[in-house]
Each structure stands twice: as structure tokens, then as C-alpha cells.
Structure 1
């Protein structure tokens, strides 16, 4: 048993979608969340830059005593998690686009993937897609511009709707019946996507699967916190505190940290 916190980091506020799933499943676990909004998005950066940022975030969380780290960013996972696991002696949980369930469940044999450039161009994404997409028409779309809009509080803006309209058009034309959200920021688009996509299209994200895997790894390593106490949840951002506070629905205290 360990009362040490779970560490979570993302290239900004998107990983809060993962945090919410983890807290729903593991309410007694203490957490520390880092929103690296100053460097968002990670998607357009090269692998060396992404790795440097991930190491910085990891070391900050380890210095704060974290027992496990959730890399709540698809781009960071696909580009850096192998190196992180080799370099640091704590368990890491990564985020991968849920290509497997979409491919297995598709009846039209056509699925869309909306993700960042850094995720779509990574070796891990290529291997996963190659493994599970046999016989499936996969329409990949880079979500350029989406993360900056979410990071500046413009999730429901007309600009966002216009951008999504362009990105969804080829997917709809290809008769997709599943769309995979390949970035932890994107679950905040689900209300918009439901309005813009045909009703039969199923939207898939990785949040619940990540929470379940976090619980499994904690159990395997005897790290679950079994004390029924009020959990402490700390949030740090090097960006706009108000935007992180708003997306957390003002239920938690958010602090600015220059990292």
C-alpha cells in the first residue's frame, strides 16, 4: 500500500480528461497534475524536443514523490514512453489511440482517426495501426489548430466548428462508423462531434481504458492506496490558470508553476 501520489502530465489541459476517469475509478488516490501549456502542442515538435519535455515533466513529478506516472498525452506516449521506462524506476502508463476496438467493431470497415502530427507520424502508431487495421479503411486526419483553440478556451467557438467541419468531411464521405480520438484534448470536443457527425458514428477515446490500466498496474506493484481518506489533488500549470480551473469546473485548486 502506498499513499504517495499518482503523477499525471500532458502538453496542457487535455490530460484532465484522463485525470477525471482515474479519479472516478480510484477516488482515494492522491494525484499531482502538470499542464505544460507553455509548450503546447507537442504534436508539431520533433522527437528530441518531445523527449526533453517529457523528461523534464517526469523528473518534476518524481521530485514531488510520485509512485506512478501517467503520460496523459498521445504524442508524448508514442514518441517517448519507451525511453522513459528505460530511464526511470517507476511504472509508466501511456495513451494510445484506440484503433483496435474501432477496427474490430466497425461494420462499414471504415474508421476515422483524429490525432496530432506527432502521434500519426510515430513508429508506435504505425505498428499499432498496421497490426489492427487489416481490411479496414483508415482515414487519418491531423488535427492542426485544435489544441491551441482548446488551450485558449475556444473549444465551442465558430473557429473550432469550421475547423472540425473541414476535418470531418472526408471521414463522413468515406462512410466511417467509428472515429478514434487520438489526443487527450479531443474528448472535450465530443459534444460538438455528436452534433456534426452522423448519429450512427461511435466516438472512441482511451480515458476509461487508461484508468483501468492504472488500477491494474498499481495492484500488481502493491501501490494502491487503501486508506479511505480525502484525497489531495494538486494541479500545476505554466499557462493560464483560469483556463485549467474552468475545465476542471472549479472543483480543485490550481497553482501556477514555472517549469
Structure 2
């Protein structure tokens, strides 16, 4: 495997770009390919079998583009499909899970909120994570329609504000001091959520931890790109690229592809 091969990253849509940004910030010399399966977003409302099928298809696309490592930049896909991917393909996979552990260990009120998709909250992995902290009151909230609004470019909309108030305020009233963002789309709502919660509530996601784990795995496999040339970053979507370009803040190297 060439160290110049790419880091492959996929998500059900544009949300995983929040993970790509963290990886690109920490590893600027790595080549990356980001895959947005926009046509099938959101994964959070799909069955486990559907999520596995989409994840296999996405991985095959990235491996055909010479991925040396695959980041499953989607909590829903990680919780439902990453074990299957690790059995089926001979490359390292890095998955995402809601940052329940650090929140639970650091919480002073012993009440933490988790905002995530339906498929994530209903997964066995999520239920097991909750069981690991019996002394902490973990309050799950499904973020119905949040991903759809983000994918449609409606982050700054009255409907988004109304939904966030509806989902977050009840958790605040239960005395949470940590709010875990359990979907890679949700960091794009950080400022809106921050405006709802009191300053005593910490909002956390998995982006920085995933970037550090990516670096660690590449170093362990002697696959880190040691060149001092800035990496090439390519983005593919099987939907309309307009929102993807908007959230990235640039239009170059963003392609529509019917994969």
C-alpha cells in the first residue's frame, strides 16, 4: 500500500464533512476522498439491512479510488454496519459512536443528553453504551427531520429553530450538564444549540477524537503520508452538489456521480 493512497470517508450526506474538516486540519498532507450518499440520506430512518448495503457500496467505491483506510463518518452506519465492513474488507475502518463515555465520566449532575438519529438510538450498541453507566441518567432524543433540513440547506430556518427548541429544552429541564451530538450533521447546529442551553452545559461531538484515531491508525500501519506537499481532497455526491459546496465553502474538486 502506497502512503500516498487516500483516506476514504463516507456519510449518508454532507454531515460527515464535519469529520473531514477535523481530519484535514490534523493531517493536511493526506489525500482524501469524501463520499456523500445524499440520494439515500438520511440513514437514521432506514433498516439495519439497508444501512449495511449502503455502507458496503460506499466502501467499494472508496476502495476503487485506492483508499488505504476508511472512516465511517456516520454514527448510524457505524452502529449498524461497521462490524460487517471489518469482516468483509481488508482495510482499517474507523467508526463513530456518540461520545457518551467522556460525557458520562465528566458529568457532575449525572444527567447527560444525547441527540441522535432514530437508528442510532435504537441500535444494540447504543443500548449497551447506556448500560455501561448505570449511575448516569442518559436522556436520548431522536432528532427527527434535522438531517433532512441540513441536507436541504435549511440550517437557518424557523422550522430548524422550532425543532431544536422542542428537542433540547426538555433535556435542559432535566438538569443535563453535557449534551452529546450523536450525528455528524449536528455540529453544523452547534451555535443554534448553544443559544438554547445554559453556559453550564457542555456540547461535545466525536470529530477531534476521530481525527486523532485516524492519525494513530495510519502511524501504526506505517501508512502516514510523510510528504510535505498539501494533500488533494476530492468530494463526490450522488445528489445535487450545491449544498455540499456551500457547507465546504468552496466549489473545486466537488463532483456529482451516480455511484
Structure 1: gaps spanning 5 or more residues? none
Question: 1:78 maps to which residue?
Answer: 79
User: Per-residue CA shift, 1:145-201, capped at 9, x if unaligned?
Assistant: 000000000112110000011101220110101000000000000010111111111
Aligned residue pairs: how many? 258
- Residue 114 of structure 2 aligns to a residue whose secondary structure is strand
- What TM-score, normalized by structure 2, do the two folds share? 0.98
Contact 1:233 1:252 in 2 (8 A): no
Gaps of 5+ in 2: none
Q: Secondary structure at the match of 2:225?
A: coil
Deviations 1:188-223 (CA, angstroms, capped at 9, x unpaired) = 000101111111110010000000000000011111
Coordinate RMSD, CA, aligned: 0.9
Whole-Å Cα distance in 2 between the matches of residues 32 and 251 of structure 1? 15
Q: Who is 1:67 aligned against?
A: 68
Q: Give the SS at the match of 2:45.
A: coil
Once the two structures are superposed, residues 16-70 of structure 1 have per-residue CA deviations (whole angstroms, 9 ceiling, x without a partner) of 0000000111000000000011100000111000000000000000011100000
- The residue number in structure 1 matching 2:196 is 196
Q: Distance in 1 between matches of 2:9 and 2:94?
A: 9
How many Å separate the matches in 1 of 2:59 and 2:139? 33
What residue is the counterpart of 2:155 in the other structure? 155
1:206 corresponds in structure 2 to: 206
Equivalent residue number for residue 116 of structure 1: 117
Map 1:15-164; keep pairs closer than 5 Å: 15-131=16-132, 133-164=133-164
Match of 1:228 in 2: 228
**TM-score under structure 1 length normalisation:** 0.98
Partners of 2:169 and 2:197 within 8 A in 1: no
Q: Give, in whole Å, the separation in 2 of the partners of 1:129 and 1:85.
A: 24
